[in-house]
Structure formats: structure tokens, C-alpha cells
Amino acid sequence: MKKIPSINYGMYTYEADSAIMAVMPDVYSGKLSVDDALKKAQDQLNNQIGK
């Protein structure tokens, strides 16, 4: 285990996870395509981090 390097997920990991998890129910139910869901998640993430 000591030989495995640590991973830096970045400073917005939790915001990105939240944005993805928010759109997953709509993908699973067929309300959104994967591409549309990714766009929606990206927009949400940008709003959360002020971009």
C-alpha cells in the first residue's frame, strides 16, 4: 500500500460529485440523455464554483 501514490482529486471534488448525482435520476429514468445530463451537471458545477 505504501507504494501506491495518493490521488489529488482537486478542490471542487464534492461540488462535482453533487452536480453529477443531481442529474443521475433523470438519466436512469430516461428523462435526460447522458450528453444532456453532463451539460446540465457542468452548468450546475460552474454556478456552484462561480465560473
**pLDDT at residue 1 is higher than 90:** no
Q: List strand residue ranges (DSSP E) for the chain, in order.
A: none
Residue 34: pLDDT band by 50, 70, 90 thresholds? very high
pTM: 0.78
5 phi and psi, to 5 degrees? -70, 150
Residue 32 corresponds to which amino acid? L
Provide the 8-state DSSP code for 32: S
Q: Is residue 26 part of a domain?
A: yes
User: How far apart are the C-alpha atoms of 22 and 17, rounded to whole Å?
Assistant: 9
Q: Is residue 30 part of a domain?
A: yes
Q: Is residue 3 part of a domain?
A: no
Give the count of domains, the chain: 1
Q: Is residue 19 part of a domain?
A: yes
Percent of the chain with pLDDT over 90: 82
24 phi and psi, to 5 degrees? -60, -40
Residue 31 corresponds to which amino acid? K
Q: Which of 14, 24, 7 is nearest to 48 (CA)?
A: 14
Q: Is residue 31 part of a domain?
A: yes
Domain that holds residue 39: 13-49
- Computed over every residue of the chain, the mean pLDDT equals 94
Q: Is residue 29 part of a domain?
A: yes
